[in-house]
Amino acid sequence: MATLFIADLHLDPSRAQITQLFESYLASAEVRHAEALYILGDLVEAWIGDDDDAELPQHIADATRAVRAAGVPVYFMVGNRDFLLGEAFAARAGMTLLDDGIVHDIHGRPTLLMHGDVLCTDDIAYQAVRRQVRTPEWQAHILSLPLAARRAFAAKARHDSKAHTGSTMESIMDVNAEAVAATMRSAGVTRLIHGHTHRPAVHAFELDGKPAERIVLGDWYEHGSVLRVDGDVVELRGLALDRI
């Protein structure tokens, strides 16, 4: 049975087709017969708290809970857009939360799982923001605000993020090769799976003389993207919108 990985769907009410593609994929035989489904961050464009009463979180919870009910574990790791997603929503959605940087045995191979943003060490400005927003104090403050204030804050954060992405060199926003090597070495793995950069690829390289792999998941902007690992088979493929 295959183990499936997705990330960077950036689900948002403004892109209903992608939400439908996510729902139809989670209802597909491939997912319902999988060994497990991993969602490695940025499932949504913005997450303002588990108490959000909007429709999208409910649709997501319905879709993932049905996968779990079919006997398929659903694992979720937060990304830089949905890092406020917590245990309350995970329980409602039938998902098990994973820490960024956890190692899971995937088909007999220890595999390091990350969202990927911590590997982009050349982006100093982003890493400074990340340190701030990941503190319990900052998160407690944001979550204490009324939903309307949090929605306004999320809109501003998206605007600032777009401005930063638009004005920062592509190479700075990719992973740093030394950070990748050091992180894999300390985790004791030769395979890493992550998202975040929206540059889907299977990179083969040498780590301390051993063959190693860094698999990058694709985003769901123009179409879907799925990584399927089944025994020795590693397949990264797109999901066309017309499969809805």
Binding site for Mn ion (CB under 5 A): 42, 79-80, 196
Cβ–Cβ under 8 Å, residues 130 and 117 = yes
CA-CA distance, 224 to 229, in Å (whole number)? 17
Helices 124-133 and 136-144, interaxial angle, to 10°?
70
Pick between residue 45 and residue 213 the one whose CB is nearest to Mn ion: 45
- Shortest distance in whole angstroms from residue 137 CB to Mn ion: 23
21, 224 Cβ separation under 8 angstroms: yes
| Nearer residue to Mn ion within complex by CB, 147 or 155 | 155
Minimum CB separation of residue 49 from Mn ion in Å reads 19
Q: Rank residues 42 and 52 by Cβ distance to Mn ion and give the closer one.
A: 42
Euclidean distance between CA atoms 106 and 230, whole angstroms? 9
Are 40 and 195 in contact by the 8 Å Cβ rule? The answer is yes
- Rounded distance between C-alpha atoms, residue 201 and residue 195, angstroms: 10
Lookup: tokens for 159: 């605007």
What's the closest the beta carbon of residue 116 comes to Mn ion, in angstroms?
A: 7
- Give the DSSP H/E element, type plus range, for residue 168: none
Minimum distance from residue 151 beta carbon to Mn ion (Å): 20
Q: Which is nearer to Mn ion, 42 or 213 (CB)?
A: 42
Q: How far is the CB of 89 from Mn ion (least distance, A)?
A: 18
> Which of residues 206 and 222 has its CB atom nearest to Mn ion in the complex?
222
